[in-house]
C-alpha cells in the first residue's frame, strides 16, 4: 500500500468517527447546509423513494437527536435504566427550551431490552442549557465509568447483526474510536457469572494515535478479553494459535468491517461535510474499501459472518464493493437476509443498478464508456455486474440502507456476508515456495496480472517496527515469586489461572499485574513478532510499597475486581447500603462509622488491601438489586474505598444519592439531607492527588488514558499511621 493510500485511510475517517463517537457538544460555526452537486447526484441515482426527496433533504439539515445506549453486560444495567426512567427522564420531559418543547426520551424500538434511547434534543442543547445541567453531568459521568455509551443510533446496528456469542473470536478491522468495539465486548460478557468468556475481540486501527482512543473506550468495560492492535487493515497479518500442540491459523468467527468512508450520511452532525462533499471522495475510497473487505473475508472462518458497513449513502462505496466481493468469491460468500433480525428498524433494500459521476458532472453507466485517461481514477469494480443472472443471484437487495428521514437518524449502509467456503484465490494458490522457473514464467506473463487484486496476494511485507515503543507483554510463570504472598494474603482459589497474568516489563520490580483470557494469551504468545499490540488485559493488582509490611506488596485494582473477585476467598468485608454511602462520601472514615456487621468483620482483618462486597437483598426492592464490589484499604483505625470518581458518582446514584456539581464545580447536593456536603464525592479529587501512579509518564498515560489513575499505587501515610483523621 503506497503512502498516498495509507494517508488517505488515515484522513478519511471523519465520517466513521462522527457517528461512532457521538459527543455532546462540539459546535460548528454556522455553515450553509447546501451542496448542489450532492442534491443533483442523489436525485439522479434515485436511492430515495419517489416523493420523499424533499423530506430527505430537510432531515439532512436538521441537527441529529441525541442517543444513548446502556452498557448491556454490566450487571447493574437494569439499575441504570431504572435511574434514567424514574429520575432524569421525568425531570426533563416537561421542559421548554428556546421555544422547543422537550419530549420524553423514547427507546429505540429495534434495540433489544430497552437498552438504547433517543430524544428530540440535540447534543448542543443538552450541553449548553442550564435546565439540562444535571442530565448532562449524568451522561458525562456515566459514560466515563462505562455504564452508558453516547453513540449515534445507526452506529449500533452492525454489532447486533453480527449475532455475537460468548465463544466467538472477533476482529474489528477499523475500530477507532471504539463505540462498536465496546458493544462487541459487552456481547461477549452477556453472562456476568463467567469472568473469562472463551471468545475475544481484537480491535485494530491503522493510526497509532487513534488506537489510544480505542484503548480508552475499551478500558471503561474492564474486560480481560480485548486486545488493541495497530495495523493497516488492508494487509492486517494472519495470526497463528496453538491448537492441541500444533500451530494453526487463527480464523475469526465474526468480523466487523466498518471501513473509512466519505461520510455523507453524517451531514446532520459532521456539518463540515456539506462544503467538502464531492463525488471524488467515493472514487478515491472505493479501492481501499475493497482491499479491506477482501482481507476481512480471507481471515473469516468458514461459517462465519462479516458485517460490512459505511456511513455513506453512495453505491460506489456500498453495493459496488459488495458486488465486486461476491463476484470474485465464486460462491464462497453470500449475502445474508437480515430483514427479520432488527424488527422495528426501517431500511431501504440495496440497489442493483447505479451509475457514476465525476466531480465535473460527467456520468458513466458502464466501464466501456470510461475514457482511458480516467482509468486510474475509475475502476471496473465500481459498476454493477453486466450479467443479469449473476446480478440476480447476488441478492444485493439484502443490503440495508438507512435514510435519515425515515426514523430521524443519520444515513448508513450495512451488509451481512456469510462465508460458505474458503476464498478461491486461497484454494488456487497454496502457500508453497515458487521455483526459479515459476518466477521467470510469471515475469514473462506480466507480474501485474499475477498480482491483480483477486489473484494470489503478494507476500506479506516484513513489519517495520521503527518508532514502535510499546512495552513488552511478559507472562508470569506459575512459580513466579510474586504469587507467594498474593496467594496466601488473598487466599486465591487453586484454579486461579496464574498463567494468564502478565506484566509490562522484563526487568526490575513489577509495577502492575494484568490478566487476559486463556485464548488471548494463546494469541499473544504465538504472534509477538508479527503483531503490534498497543494494549491488552485488565489491571488486577498494583504494587504498593507500603503494603509489604502488611503481608503483600500488591493491592487490588478496582478496574479488575469483577474479574478477580471470584478467585479471592479472604480480605472480604460484606457491606450494607449505608456502609457504601459512608465509604463513598467520606474520604477516610473511622471503622466505627460502619454498621455493626461490617465493623465487626473489619476489626478481624489486618491492615492492607480489601474487597468491599454488597450482596443484594431480593426481599428489599428499594435497594439496588445488583452486586457491588469495591476495592478498599483497611487502615489502622480507618477504612477507605479506592474507587475512581465517576464510578463513585455511579454507585451513589444507584443508592438514591443525588450527585450534582454546579457550573463552577463548587460543591454538590445530596438528596438525603445529610450535611457532609463539603466532604462529599469531591473528596475523590484529594484522593487522586495522594494516589501516586508509578511508571513512565508516556506508557502509563497511554495505558490508563485517564486524568490520574483511579487506584493510585500507594496508600496515604495518614491511613496507616497515627495521624488518621475522620471525615
Among all residues, which ones are annotated catalytic?
311
Q: Which residues contact 715 (CB under 8 A, 6 or more apart)?
A: 544, 546, 547, 555, 633, 635
What residues contact residue 511 under an 8 Å CB cut-off, 6+ apart?
503, 504, 505, 542, 543, 694, 695, 713
176 labelled ligand-binding: yes
The annotation status of 458 as a binding-site residue, yes or no, is no
Residue with cell 448532562: 136
User: Are the C-beta atoms of 503 and 476 separated by less than 8 Å?
Assistant: yes
The closest alpha carbon to 229, from 250, 198, 246, belongs to 250
Rounded to an integer, what distance in angstroms lies between the CA atom of residue 338 and that of residue 414? 10
Helix or strand (DSSP H, E) at 632: strand 628-634
Residue 347's SS3 state is: coil
Cell numbers 448508513 label which residue? 412
- Could you tell me the CA-to-CA distances from 495 to 489, 492, 651, 665 in Å, in that order? 16, 8, 31, 47
Distances (CA, A) of 502 to 93, 196, 391, 484, 505: 49, 15, 51, 16, 9
CA dihedral 514, 519, 520, 524 (to 10 degrees): 110
Q: Any known ligand binding at 174?
A: yes
211 annotated to a ligand binding site = no
Question: Is 178 assigned a ligand-binding role in the annotation?
Answer: yes
Three-state secondary structure call for residue 706: coil
Angle of the 133-144 helix axis to the 645-654 helix axis, nearest 10: 120
Give Dmax over CA atoms of the chain in angstroms. 88
> Which residue is listed with cell 444515513?
411
Residue ranges of E strands in 112-221: 116-122, 148-150, 169-172, 200-204
Cα dihedral 195, 198, 203, 208 sign: positive
Neighbours of 21 (CB within 10 A): 18
- Here the contacts of 137-142 (C-beta below 8 Å, separation 24 or greater) are 137/659, 137/660, 137/661, 138/88, 138/653, 139/24, 139/68, 140/24, 141/646, 141/649, 141/650, 141/659, 142/80, 142/646, 142/649, 142/650
Question: Beta strands 200-204 and 100-101: pairing type?
Answer: unpaired
- Asked whether residue 205 is marked as a ligand-binding residue, the answer is yes
C-alpha cell at 630: 469495591
d(CA 632, CA 650): 17
Task: Tell me: is residue 191 an annotated ligand-binding position.
Answer: no
708 assigned ligand-binding residue: no
CA distances from 103 to 100, 121, 333, 431, 598 (A): 9, 8, 45, 61, 45
> Does 269 count as an annotated binding residue?
no
What would the grid cell of residue 122 be? 440535540
3-state secondary structure 91-118: HHCCCEECCEECCCCEECCCCHHHCEEE
Closest by CA position to 168, among listed 323, 8, 301 = 301
Closest CA to 509 of 469, 537, 547: 547
415, containing H or E segment: strand 412-419
The cell numbers describing 676, all together, are 457532609
Question: What is residue 19's three-state secondary structure?
Answer: helix
Known binder of ligand: residue 244? no
605: left (phi over 0), alpha (psi -120 to 50) or beta: beta
Distance of alpha carbon 116 from alpha carbon 310, whole angstroms: 21
Binding residues: 174-180, 205, 232, 258
Binding residues for S-adenosyl-L-methionine: 174-180, 205, 232, 258
Amino acid at each position: 500500500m503506497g503512502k498516498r493510500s495509507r494517508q488517505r485511510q488515515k484522513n478519511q475517517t471523519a465520517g466513521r468517527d462522527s457517528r461512532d463517537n457521538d459527543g455532546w457538544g462540539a459546535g460548528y460555526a454556522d455553515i450553509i447546509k447546501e451542496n448542489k452537486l450532492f442534491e443533483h447526484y442523489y436525485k439522479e441515482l434515485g436511492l430515495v423513494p419517489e416523493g420523499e426527496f424533499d423530506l430527505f433533504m430537510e432531515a439532512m439539515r436538521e441537527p441529529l437527536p441525541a442517543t444513548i445506549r446502556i452498557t448491556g453486560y454490566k450487571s447493574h444495567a437494569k439499575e441504570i435504566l431504572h435511574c434514567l426512567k424514574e429520575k432524569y427522564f421525568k425531570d426533563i420531559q416537561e421542559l421548554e427550551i428556546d421555544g422547543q418543547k422537550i419530549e420524553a426520551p423514547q427507546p429505540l424500538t429495534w434495540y433489544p431490552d430497552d437498552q438504547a434511547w433517543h430524544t428530540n434534543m440535540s447534543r448542543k442543547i443538552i450541553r449548553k442549557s442550564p435546565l439540562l445541567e444535571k442530565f448532562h453531568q449524568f451522561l458525562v459521568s456515566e459514560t466515563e465509568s462505562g455504564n452508558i455509551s453516547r453513540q449515534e443510533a445507526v452506529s449500533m446496528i452492525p454489532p447486533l447483526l453480527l449475532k455475537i456469542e460468548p465463544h466467538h473470536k472477533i476482529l474489528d478491522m477499523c475500530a477507532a474510536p471504539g463505540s462498536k468495539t465496546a458493544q462487541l465486548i459487552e456481547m461477549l460478557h452477556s453472562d456476568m457469572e463467567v469472568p473469562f468468556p472463551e471468545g475475544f475481540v481484537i480491535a485494530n486501527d491503522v493510526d497509532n494515535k487513534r488506537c489510544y482512543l480505542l484503548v480508552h473506550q475499551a478500558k471503561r468495560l474492564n474486560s480481560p478479553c480485548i486486545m488493541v492492535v495497530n495495523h493497516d487493515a488492508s494487509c492486517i497479518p494472519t495470526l497463528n494459535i496453538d491448537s492441541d500442540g500444533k500451530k494453526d491459523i487463527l480464523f475469526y468467527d465474526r468480523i466487523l468491517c466498518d471501513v473509512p468512508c466519505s461520510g455523507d450520511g453524517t451531514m446532520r452532525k459532521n456539518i463540515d461535510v456539506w462544503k467538502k462533499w464531492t463525488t471524488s471522495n467515493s472514487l478515491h475510497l472505493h479501492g481501499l474499501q475493497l482491499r479491506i473487505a477482501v482481507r476481512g473475508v480471507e481471515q473469516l472462518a468458514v461459517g462465519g459472518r462479516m458485517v460490512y458497513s459505511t456511513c455513506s449513502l453512495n453505491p460506489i462505496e456500498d453495493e459496488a464493493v459488495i458486488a465486486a466481493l461476491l463476484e470474485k468469491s465464486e460462491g464462497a460468500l453470500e449475502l445474508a437476509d437480515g430483514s427479520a433480525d432488527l424488527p422495528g428498524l426501517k431500511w431501504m433494500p440495496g440497489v442493483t443498478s447505479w451509475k457514476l459521476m465525476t466531480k465535473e458532472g460527467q456520468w458513466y453507466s458502464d466501464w466501456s464508456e470510461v475514457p482511458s485517461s480516467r482509468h486510474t481514477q475509475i475502476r471496473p469494480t465500481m459498476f454493477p455486474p453486466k450479467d443479469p443472472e449473476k446480478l440476480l443471484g447476488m441478492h444485493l437487495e439484502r443490503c440495508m440502507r438507512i435514510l435519515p428521514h425515515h426514523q430521524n437518524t443519520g444515513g448508513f449502509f450495512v451488509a451481512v456476508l456469510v462465508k460458505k467456503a474458503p476464498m478461491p484465490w486461497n484454494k488456487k494458490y497454496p502457500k508453497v515456495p515458487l521455483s526459479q522457473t515459476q518466477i521467470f514464467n510469471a515475469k514473462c506473463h506480466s507480474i501485474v496480472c499475477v498480482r491483480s487484486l483477486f489473484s494470489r496476494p503478494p507476500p506479506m511485507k516484513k513489519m517495520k517496527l521503527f518508532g514502535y515503543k510499546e512495552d513488552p507483554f511478559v507472562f508470569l510463570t506459575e512459580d513466579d515469586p510474586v504469587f507467594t504472598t498474593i496467594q496466601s494474603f488473598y487466599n486465591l482459589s487453586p484454579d486461579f489461572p496464574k498463567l494468564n497474568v502478565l506484566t509490562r516489563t522484563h526487568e526490575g520490580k513489577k509495577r502492575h499485574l494484568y490478566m487476559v483470557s486463556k485464548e488471548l494469551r494463546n494469541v499473544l504468545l504465538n504472534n509477538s513478532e508479527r503483531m503490534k499490540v498497543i494494549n491488552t488485559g485488565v489491571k488486577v493488582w498494583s504494587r504498593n510499597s507500603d503494603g509489604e509490611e502488611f503481608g503483600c506488596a500488591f493491592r487490588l485494582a478496582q478496574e479488575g475486581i469483577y474479574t478477580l473477585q471470584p478467585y479471592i476467598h479472604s480480605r472480604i468485608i460484606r457491606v450494607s447500603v449505608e456502609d457504601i454511602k459512608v465509604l463513598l462520601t467520606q474520604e477516610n472514615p473511622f471503622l466505627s462509622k460502619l454498621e455493626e456487621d461490617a465493623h465487626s468483620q473489619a476489626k478481624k482483618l489486618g491492615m492492607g488491601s480489601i474487597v468491599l462486597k454488597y450482596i443484594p437483598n431480593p426481599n428489599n426492592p428499594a435497594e439496588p438489586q445488583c452486586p457491588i464490589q469495591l476495592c478498599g484499604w483497611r487502615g489502622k483505625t480507618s477504612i477507605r474505598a479506592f474507587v475512581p470518581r465517576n464510578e463513585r458518582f455511579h454507585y451513589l446514584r444507584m443508592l438514591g444519592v443525588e450527585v450534582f456539581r454546579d457550573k463552577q464545580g463548587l460543591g454538590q447536593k445530596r438528596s438525603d439531607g445529610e450535611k457532609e456536603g463539603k466532604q462529599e464525592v469531591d473528596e475523590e479529587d484529594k484522593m487522586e492527588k495522594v494516589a501516586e501512579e508509578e511508571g513512565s509518564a508516556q506508557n502509563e498515560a497511554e495505558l490508563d488514558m485517564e486524568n490520574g489513575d483511579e487506584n493510585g499505587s500507594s496508600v496515604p501515610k495518614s491511613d496507616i499511621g497515627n495521624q488518621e483523621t475522620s471525615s
